[in-house]
Structure 1
């Protein structure tokens, strides 16, 4: 039997929209789109791509900590970016800095808008915990 474990940041929106931040099914962890919010779920840094990106990674680190996983176990990421031509170079540089020598698969999708006014980035991840941490 496969074990299932879900994780939430316990912020507004999770219960209202019916989702978890992540769910582990066996050795695979599926992570919902991470974005720039604080511990109360309040959106941070409207229209500041770099600050939103750093906060999104910080929120993802909380998911990793819950599961005892590391970014080296990420096998796939999907980035949703408002005004992709403007932010593509910053995203690439941040991605290289965040993952170092690790190279997960990646899809970058330009979008017209995201949930919050001023939201420019959202990133979802898939991890395989059989990979070395």
Structure 2
């Protein structure tokens, strides 16, 4: 596993549930935005943000394993939500996967829509192994 560091930038307020900076040396892994599609391409949890988020994180977990990585290697998450008020529900699921003592850098963006109107969340990840 790569050795990651989480320096706190001087003059910047601490992040709430995320790190401002994560650095480390190793192989870069980029995981495309994952949505709540199961292995057969069916949307999981129509109208249910928590159910969709659980499927998204299951997909991210599978992608990390395919790359030989774990959640300990994740340095950055980008979250795209159709309704930013759902962020607390996403964080509850996310916190079951990431190290909350040293969380990855993260960006959350509200978007008008995703690739299908019933998709509520898409998350991409970057890791260093």
DSSP 3-state at the match of 2:95 = helix
The alignment's TM-score, normalised by the length of structure 1, stands at 0.72
What is the CA deviation profile of residues 70-102 of structure 1, one whole-angstrom value per residue up to 9, with x for unaligned ones? Answer: 0110010100001112x0221222222321333
Alpha-carbon RMSD across the aligned residues, in angstroms, is 1.4
- Indicate if the aligned counterparts of 1:72 and 1:102 stay in contact, CA closer than 8 A: no
Q: Which runs of 5+ in 1 are unaligned?
A: 1-25
Range that drifts further, 97-106 or 63-72: 97-106
The alignment's TM-score, normalised by the length of structure 2, stands at 0.74
1:119 aligns with 2:115: no
What is the CA deviation profile of residues 91-130 of structure 1, one whole-angstrom value per residue up to 9, with x for unaligned ones? Answer: 222222321333100000011111112111000001001x
- Structure 1 partner of 2:87: 88
Q: Structure 2: how far apart are the matches of 1:93 and 1:40?
A: 26
Which one scores higher on RCO, CA 8 angstroms, separation ≥ 6? 2
